[in-house]
Structure 1
């Protein structure tokens, strides 16, 4: 398999309002370390040559000051007004051909296997978007009511959304559009067909106190 430079752009701009915490959720403690530490560590452990671009609001730089030195290959970048702008700020650091992972800072349980799967998918097909099946029944709201839909026709999207640099860098040169809900939607606007790869049920997003409890249990089981 072709070997490429690997860059993980980890975006962590959340405020933690749903957590009911004064501390942003990415800095809450998980098994004795901040959530974001675990996220960064997952990428560092996945590939020895992984480079990390950590995108944070400038006001949050102090939260990582005491542990960012644990990792030699991390660059700290100031976030933007929107996720699109934050990712763009991270992409602006990439100066040579690479496989670029864009990952939520509050997904600390991402596995080495999933990171490898995304890398290999991007090398083979230009992009790799991890997805999992919907377990619940879902209904669509329509004028005057609602209706059942076939959940088999829908997938739940995870990160890291992964692309060759020659796909994602030109895509982020276009103006921001509120319809850009994730990186895949930005790349698609350029006429690219994004490819889906199997995600991981354990790759949860920490948004509520219950999620921290689940992540603690998953870490315990993994250890």
Structure 2
């Protein structure tokens, strides 16, 4: 089966603004790279001297002898960020081939736009652009399981105690029955394309879908979980940037 990747790169992200901290504040300088302009989308912030999005793309491009997919990886960005991406590619001499696709106002719309440029035969791994530490092993396992079962969604057990909040009440939840969901979320292309079409045809609210697996689940397809990794973090806060810079030394 052909293998494809859709890397979804979002916007600035509200959690980068918490406690008054923005990309470009002193935290950016403290982790060893030039402070970006205030408001630079988080996927363009540098870790280890390279923008996070480029680190993520490189994980997929290098997974199997430098050519995992045989076609350019699809990168979904806001159209207004295309010039920024092209400038960063020149500055960092980044020449890994990608196909840029304009994102929508929600993750659902962005992924759907990415799916539209692919055929209906093969497998597709949908991955967050700000998860740069995904391993080759996890990528490969996701494709193997999806080829057999239709879907493969990375997940890790919960370490902390969990309580469910219901109004002004809360109750304990057995954490053994809970998983934290990550990406990649990998599917047979025909399956996930059908799921997105059904949701769009029914005019369902995109905010109802927290991830791609929830779209497939709504369409009636079973979701198969595979073991993810605690190292496969999603960089969403200034603290994540600090951790990522330190972790990169071990990862590479």
Task: Give yes or no for TM over 0.5.
Answer: yes
Q: 1:123 aligns with which of 133, 136, 147?
A: 147
Distance in 2 (CA, whole Å) between partners of 1:198 and 1:16 is 27
| TM-superposition CA deviations, 1:51-101 (whole Å, max 9, x none) | 310000011112210317734431000001111010010000112411101
Residue 218 (structure 1) aligned with residue 225 (structure 2): no
The SS at the match of 2:99 is strand
Structure 1 residue 17, shift from structure 2 partner: 3.5
Distance in 2 (CA, whole Å) between partners of 1:60 and 1:83 is 16
Quickly say closer, same or farther: Cα 1:77–1:136, change in 2 above 3 A: same
1:204 counterpart residue number: 233
The SS at the match of 2:183 is coil
Q: CA RMSD in A?
A: 1.5
Distance in 1 (CA, whole Å) between partners of 2:11 and 2:242 is 19
Structure 2 gap segments, 5+ residues each: 17-21, 24-38
Structure with the larger helix share? 2
Q: 1:35 aligns with which of 35, 40, 52?
A: 52
Structure 1 gap segments, 5+ residues each: none
2:221 counterpart residue number: 192
| Residues 55, 79 of structure 1: 8 Å contact kept | yes
TM-score (norm 1): 0.94
Structure 1 residue 14, shift from structure 2 partner: 2.1
Quickly say closer, same or farther: Cα 1:125–1:71, change in 2 above 3 A: farther
Distance in 1 (CA, whole Å) between partners of 2:86 and 2:247 is 27
Count of aligned positions: 220
- Greater mean alpha carbon deviation, residues 151-160 or residues 178-187: 178-187
- Greater mean alpha carbon deviation, residues 212-221 or residues 190-199: 212-221
